[in-house]
Amino acid sequence: MSTTSLPTTIRTLSQPDPNTPKVILTTSPLPALTPGSKTEHLIKVHATSPCADELIWPQNDPQLFSSNIVPCYDLSGTVVQAPSDSPFPPGTDVWCSTPPGRPGNGREYTIATTEELATRPKCIDAVTAAGVPLSAVTAVQALFVHGGIRGFRDGEEGKRENATKEILVIAAAGGVGIWLLQLAREAGVGGIVAVCGTDNVGFVKELGATEVIDYRKQSVEEYYSRNEKKRVDLVIDCKGGKSLEEAWSCVRQGGILLSICEPPENRKPAGCTTRDVQSSFFILTARGSDLTDVSRLLEEGKVVPFVDSVWNLDDYEKAFERVGEGHTRGKVIIVP
């Protein structure tokens, strides 16, 4: 697409008040690349995906967000402008997640940098692809960067070590959970305990769970209080709140407790006796290279993405409502 054929204005989602979790559909000027930038790319958005609770992020971290808040940090699109030496020249189909704090991708055109981008594998269509990057990269970093699980490049030696590990995934049928299960399975993790509701028990088993806790029938705290020897090496919490509080009863002494929702120490129960736990809250680093193994596994048919529902930009309110229900199976997609 030539520069002369680009629109001067675009439709975009906007969160006008950072203290109010409400989104509107409006128009804005076409995003402009920073003059002289060697990393920025202008991208035609094919689809994006809202993330649970993202509309309250500006309240929790007001210094991070500018006055121009565009939601949705997943991206599937095609490059229309790029630096002359970019590995993603115009016409390249790309996917990535972009970091909060910059305007997101709930708009017809957006900007992403070389470090954030990856080439979209041909085995996945442009709409489905929009539901993968943020969740999959979060799962990659939770397991292999912060969680002590050996990565795919460690080969059979890494798999042998991973076979001795047991992990617990809270909210296992959600957007991040489905990638945690599949990537842990492919990395050879020996025990994968999934926490989900009754309707998703069979689903998470298909994705790799070796054991399932149906939270509608018993809490994780009840499950692990009966046998402390069953405590796991790594807990990854994708829910927060009461679930994160109960997670402290599941991790072994010297284990790791991660949350992608809030700091675990803030939910540590009074009188908790578990010692030497490495607990941390993390937000992913938007890094396209972390999609390399995900792309390979997709092309080999070893992992699959899941789309809960697809909405056009005019129906953005319904899309955010669906995410807010908290019981999606896979990702909600918005197509500009």
Query: Which residue shows structure tokens 């115009």?
Result: 90
Token duo for residue 68: 């121009």
pLDDT at 2 over 70: no
Q: Average pLDDT, stretch 204-213?
A: 97
Q: Average pLDDT, stretch 56-68?
A: 83
Return d(Cα 178, Cα 195) in angstroms, integer: 11
| pLDDT tens readout for residues 67-104 | 789 999 999 999 999 999 999 999 999 999 999 889 99
Angle at 87 between CA 86 and CA 90, to 5 degrees: 70
Q: Is 10 in contact with 28 (CB distance < 8 Å)?
A: yes
- Model pTM? 0.94
Token duo for residue 15: 């969160």
Encode 52-89: b = buried (16+ Cβ within 10 Å), e = exposed: bebbebbeeeeeebeeebbbbbbbbbbbbbbbeebebe
pLDDT at 3 over 90: no
Tally the C-alpha atoms within 13 A of residue 98's C-alpha that lie toward its C-beta.
Answer: 30
Q: Is 249 in contact with 220 (CB distance < 8 Å)?
A: yes
- Report the CATH fold assignment for 3-132+305-335: Quinone Oxidoreductase; Chain A, domain 1 (3.90.180)
| pLDDT tens readout for residues 142-183 | 999 999 999 999 999 999 999 999 999 999 999 999 999 999
Range(s) of the chain covered by CATH 3.40.50.720: 137-281
Q: Is 90 in contact with 81 (CB distance < 8 Å)?
A: yes
Q: Is 104 in contact with 138 (CB distance < 8 Å)?
A: no
CATH number of 137-281: 3.40.50.720
Query: Quick one: pLDDT at residue 9?
Result: 98
pLDDT-derived band at 4 (thresholds 50, 70, 90) equals low
Range(s) of the chain covered by CATH 3.90.180.10: 3-132+305-335
CA 9 to chain centre: 30
> How deeply is 276 buried, as exposed, middle or buried, from its count of CB atoms within 10 A (0-12, 13-18, 19+)?
exposed
Q: Name the residue among 272, 268, 271, 275 with its Cα closest to residue 252.
A: 275
Longest dimension (CA), the chain: 68
For the chain, the first-to-last Cα distance in angstroms comes to 18
